[in-house]
Amino acid sequence: MATVVRLDAAELRDELKWHAEYRLDYTEPMPLGEWSGTKTDLGVVLLPLSPEEPEPALSFVCLAAKGRKVATRFAKAEFTYLSQVDPLPVTQWLNAMPPQFRSHLESAIERTGRSIPPGTWTHAREALVEKRPGVRDHLAKLEAILDARFELTQREQEVLQEQKDAVGVALSVARINRAPLAVWTKPVENAPFLTGVEPGDTREDVLVIHDATRAPGWAKAGEPYIGVTEFSDAAGNALTVMNVNRHKIEEITGVDLLYYRHEPASFAMVQYKRMARRATKGAKGESSESGLEFRPSSDGSFEEELERMRTVDALAGSKAPKEDQRGQEPLPIFDPVLGYRLHPHACWIKLCHPEAFKPVESDLVRGMYLPLDYYEQLAVSDVTLGPKGGRVISYDNVHKWINNTLFVELMSGGWIGSRTLQTAWLSETLEAALSAKRSVVIAQETANGRRRHRR
């Protein structure tokens, strides 16, 4: 199915063409009540042929999504993966259609945001390809992106969604646009999320991590299922991301994000856990957060994973030993200014909403971030004690947590994370995570100059 995006200003053609050439997203306020399609759909963009010729013409195809509300009657429409089409006047498009379907297409193109019925779209697509053969390959790619998630098992979708979110969080912390994550194609079986990202400078040789980041311990992660991508922006910020699966996706118990920056030396680890919705339905009008909960007892590997995180926090914390048991010399004493932290610990838990895998969107998964030491307090507090004596973490009983926006701001500004570390500790953490059947996303940042934050 496709959604019609009708723009009335012919002058927008050059702007959309520029966005298409540079593979940039485009946003435009759209009347909220007119958009009847799904959240993300294949979009056909209509523009006037010229200021002098007001007849609409199909001029671009893309992925179109109704975004957040920006005014009382308008929503932010988001267009990704734009591709220009030699303008096809609507009258020519209609005349190439079987007569019995023309009225349905006419009705759909009257106003923006209307869906073309599936049966009508089948013939409309054939007519479009007949008149503009060059659009065939791009349409097929857009359809493959939209269909990718329907070829995945539920477990694969859960793991890929967490991997995608980990990459997205890392990009946000590095202040790099997450737009590349919205263009994804299903990779080979058991390959991590990162191998399906496009565009990107993806390289298969894991040893590039050693050269690019000077973290030699991480070069040990040469496993069968691996992806390496470098992201950068015009400001000179760069992020090297490695996504490793040692085990098949169906066997993976969860995802870890290991985020490392060199100057000042800092490390953070986020362990993903998926919340579930209670079987009993909530009261009418309750928020989407109500009814979501995480039960530690339902995860057989969680206690072992917590113990690993406790060790990491102890080693990478403010009181790291002068020399570790492997005989490595410590890093220099941290700069008392750059090394200042509101929370000088490395380990966090992200309890995620059980959202569906969305391969063509770049939004972060909603959820609550809990520092490990705060979680440890919750785990023994009466507030999380369920009626039958079990532990339940939910929005109903945890009244303080950190959301995506605040976590990214704190990480990016250097307000949280370890104050000193050893690369050997990171290597050990990676090896332990992979041995525990977890997928690991490693992100290593190089920033152009020091950021200034006033929040």
Q: Give the structural domain span for 23.
A: 2-148
Is the domain of 24 the same as that of 122? Answer: yes
For 362-389, the pLDDT digits (tens) are 889 999 999 999 999 999 999 999 888 8
pLDDT above 90 covers a percentage of the chain that reads: 36
Is the domain of 158 the same as that of 138? Answer: no
The predicted pLDDT at position 374 comes to 96
Is the domain of 136 the same as that of 209? Answer: no
Cβ within 8 Å of residue 217, ≥6 positions away? 423, 424, 426, 427, 428, 430
Is the domain of 110 the same as that of 199? Answer: no
pLDDT tier for residue 315 given thresholds of 50, 70 and 90: confident
Question: Do residues 308 and 429 lie in contact, with contact meaning Cβ atoms separated by under 8 Å?
Answer: yes
Q: If we measure between CA atoms, which residue out of 436, 361, 423 comes closest to residue 65? A: 361
Cβ within 8 Å of residue 354, ≥6 positions away? 274, 275, 276, 277, 292
Residue 386 vs residue 318, higher pLDDT: 386
Domain-embedded: residue 309: yes
Is the domain of 111 the same as that of 124? Answer: yes
Is the domain of 303 the same as that of 317? Answer: yes
Single residue among 148, 168, 193 that ends a domain in this structure: 148
Residue 211 vs residue 337, higher pLDDT: 337
Lowest mean pLDDT among 234-238, 317-321, 396-400: 317-321
Q: How many folded domains does the chain comprise?
A: 2
Single residue among 85, 116, 148 that ends a domain in this structure: 148
Domain-embedded: residue 349: yes
Domain-embedded: residue 334: yes
> For the stretch 253-271, what's the b/e string if a residue is b when 16 or more beta carbons lie within 10 angstroms of its beta carbon?
bbbbbbbbbeebbbbbbbb
Single residue among 119, 148, 177 that ends a domain in this structure: 148
Is the domain of 305 the same as that of 371? Answer: yes
Domain-embedded: residue 24: yes
Domain-embedded: residue 190: yes
The predicted pLDDT at position 334 comes to 59
d(CA 61, CA 84): 7
Domain-embedded: residue 455: no
Domain-embedded: residue 360: yes
Question: CA-based Rg of the chain, rounded to a whole angstrom?
Answer: 25
Is the domain of 80 the same as that of 180? Answer: no
Look at the pTM and tell me if it is higher than 0.85: no
When the pLDDT of each residue in the chain is averaged and rounded to a whole number, the result is 81
Is the domain of 139 the same as that of 271? Answer: no
Domain-embedded: residue 454: no
Is the domain of 194 the same as that of 68? Answer: no
Is the domain of 75 the same as that of 196? Answer: no
Ranges assigned E (strand) in 110-209: 115-116, 201-203
Is the domain of 273 the same as that of 397? Answer: yes
The predicted pLDDT at position 366 comes to 94
